[in-house]
Structure 1
Amino acid sequence: MRSEVITVRTGSRPTVQDITAEAESFVSGQGDGLLHVFVPHATAGVAIIETGAGSDDDLLTALDSVLPTDNRWRHRHGSPGHGRDHVLPAFVAPYATLPVLGGRLALGTWQSICLVDTNGDNTTRQVRFSFLPG
C-alpha cells in the first residue's frame, strides 16, 4: 500500500476545501485500486459533494443548523461553541474510500473530495491518502 500525508491550510473560519486535485495527483498512473482519504483529526471530516455551485456553503449552513456554535456543548475548551466541532465527525466522517480505475478517480461528473473543517482554532490540517492496488 502506498500512503502519503498532505497539509491543507483551512484558515480560521469554517470551510469546505476541495482536495480533489491533490487526490488525483496521488493516484495518477497507479492503475486500478482504491483510494482511502483519512483526516486524522477529532474535529474535521471528508465529504464527497459538488463544489462551486453553492453546495459547499449549503453544507456549512446545514451543519450550523444541526450543530450550532452556542453554549449547549459539554466539551468546552477552545473557542465558544467548539464542542460542536468534536461532534462533527459523527455527521461528516473523517474518511472516504473511492474507486480508482486506470490511475484515475472514478468520481461522478459533479463530485469532488472535500475536507470539511468547522474548527477555527486549527488553521492547518493533515490529510492521508492511501492507495490499495486492486
Structure 2
Amino acid sequence: MNTEVLDVDTSRRRIVDLTSAVRSFCASQGDGLCNVFVPHATAGLALIETGAGSDDDLVDTLERLLPRDDRYRHAHGSFGHGADHVLPGLVSPSVTVPVGDGEPLLGTWQSIVLVDLNRDNTARSVRLSFVSG
C-alpha cells in the first residue's frame, strides 16, 4: 500500500478541494482503490460538485443542521464547538474511489473535498492511501 499525507490549512475556507492532489497521487499508481482519510474528530470528506454553489450550499446546510449554540454535551472549546464533533456522523471521515490507469474514476462533476467547520483547529492532515487491484 502506498501512502502520502497532505497538510491542509482550513483557516480561510470550510470546503477545500482535494481533487487535484488526489489525481497527482494516483497518476503513477495504475489500477486499484484510493482511500482518502481525515484523522480528525471534527472534519469529514465529501464528493460534491464545486464552483457552482454546491460547496456553499453544503456549508449552509450543515450549519442549519448543526447550529452553534449550547445544546451540546461536548462543550469544550469555542461556543457551539460540540457541533464540530457531530459533523463526522453526517460527513464521513473517509471516501474511497476506484482508480483506472492512474486516474480516479470520478463522475464528470464530482470533486473530493475536505469539510471543516471547526474554527478551533485549522491545521488538518489528510491521508491518501492506494491499494493496487
User: Which TM bucket (shorter chain)?
Assistant: over 0.9
What is the CA–CA distance in structure 1 between the aligned matches of 2:80 and 2:48, rounded to whole Å?
25
Alpha carbons of structure 1 residues 39 and 91: separation in structure 2 relative to 1, 3 Å? same
Shift of 1:29: 2.0
Question: 1:4 maps to which residue?
Answer: 4
**Structure 1 portions without partners, runs of 5+:** none
Q: 1:89 maps to which residue?
A: 88
* Equivalence for 1:130: 129
CA RMSD of aligned residues (A): 0.9
Count of residue correspondences: 133
Deviations along 1:20-54, one digit per CA (max 9) or x if unpaired, are 01111101021100000000000000000000000
Counterpart Cα distance in 2 of 1:30 and 1:14: 30
Deviation of 1:123 (Å): 1.5
Structure 2 distance, partners of 1:30, 1:39, is 21
In structure 2, the residue matched to 1:62 is 61
Q: Where has structure 1 moved over 6 Å in runs of 4 or more?
A: none
Q: Secondary structure at the match of 1:23?
A: helix
Q: What is the identity percentage for the equivalent residue pairs of Structure 1 and Structure 2?
A: 60
How big is the shift at 1:124? 1.2
Q: What residue number does 1:38 align with?
A: 37
Query: TM-score, normalised to structure 2's length?
Result: 0.98
User: TM-score, normalised on structure 1?
Assistant: 0.97
> Structure 2: where are the runs of 5+ without partners?
none
